[in-house]
Amino acid sequence: MKRPTSGVSAAERIRNSARDLFYSNGIRCVGVDEIVQNAGVTKPSLYRAYESKDGLAAVYLDEFFQTCLTRFEQAEATCPDDPRGQLLSYFDGLAERASRPAYRGCGLTNAILEFPDHNHPVRREAARLKQAMADWIASRVALLDTGEPERLTSGLVLLMEGVFVAGQAFAPPGPAAHAGMVARLLLDM
């Protein structure tokens, strides 16, 4: 189905089409033909703007990561000077998002699972951005008075990744709905 084209560049239409399709169906399952047909543009338009499907996938991953950064910033703004509150705000929001029927998890995690070759450029980019997400959790934990920051960070990262998968694996609301409560348990240990 073609989308309206007024005021939106071909590159933007391609990016928007790819974002929706990659998140819903996976990067590998979506072909260039489907992207351009959905965007209402031609293949040469895609290759002029992004060089390759992998290049377009990297843009998708970066945009997905920007959404994650916004959520981290919102958690920080909600609880300034309270790293525990920031973590809880993030996990409470994640629990709510992961309990929605259309939830498809984390686009970065999904990309890592789709590309088992550690040297594939899509996987490398997803893993780099995923590490930045773990680093945000570690930065909040570092501000807490805890005797074992590495273990707490590992537990919270495992919780985050578990929610990304459980939100897709179980019927809503499922176990993912309890992410905030589990984060509280980890932080109170």
* CATH number, position 34: 1.10.10.60
What pLDDT is attached to residue 6? 57
What pLDDT is attached to residue 189? 86
pLDDT by residue (tens digit) across 70-81? 999 999 999 999
* Together in a domain, 63 and 129: yes
From 51, 76, 93, give the residue that closes a domain. Answer: 51
What pLDDT is attached to residue 1? 44
* Together in a domain, 6 and 92: no
* Together in a domain, 21 and 86: no
* Together in a domain, 22 and 75: no
* Together in a domain, 25 and 88: no
Phi/psi at 7 (5° precision): 80, 0
Contact (CB, 8 A) for 156 and 141: yes
Cβ contacts of 56 within 8 Å, gap of 6 or more: 14, 15, 18, 35, 46, 50
Distance CA 66, CA 143 (A): 23
* Together in a domain, 70 and 97: yes
How confident is the prediction for the chain on average, in pLDDT?
94
* Together in a domain, 110 and 74: yes
* Together in a domain, 123 and 92: yes
From 9, 31, 51, give the residue that closes a domain. Answer: 51
What pLDDT is attached to residue 2? 47
Distance CA 3, CA 74 (A): 32
pLDDT (tens, 9 = 90+) of the chain, 189 residues, equals: 444 455 789 999 999 999 999 999 999 999 999 999 999 999 999 999 998 999 999 999 999 999 999 999 999 999 999 999 999 999 999 999 999 998 999 999 999 999 999 999 999 999 999 999 999 999 999 999 998 999 999 999 999 999 999 999 999 999 999 999 999 999 998
* Together in a domain, 63 and 42: no
* Together in a domain, 67 and 112: yes
CATH code at position 70:
1.10.357.10
What pLDDT is attached to residue 8? 81
* Together in a domain, 69 and 31: no
Which residue segment(s) compose the domain that 42 sits in? 1-51
Omega before 173 within 30 of 0, i.e. cis = yes
* Together in a domain, 145 and 100: yes
In the chain, the number of structural domains is 2
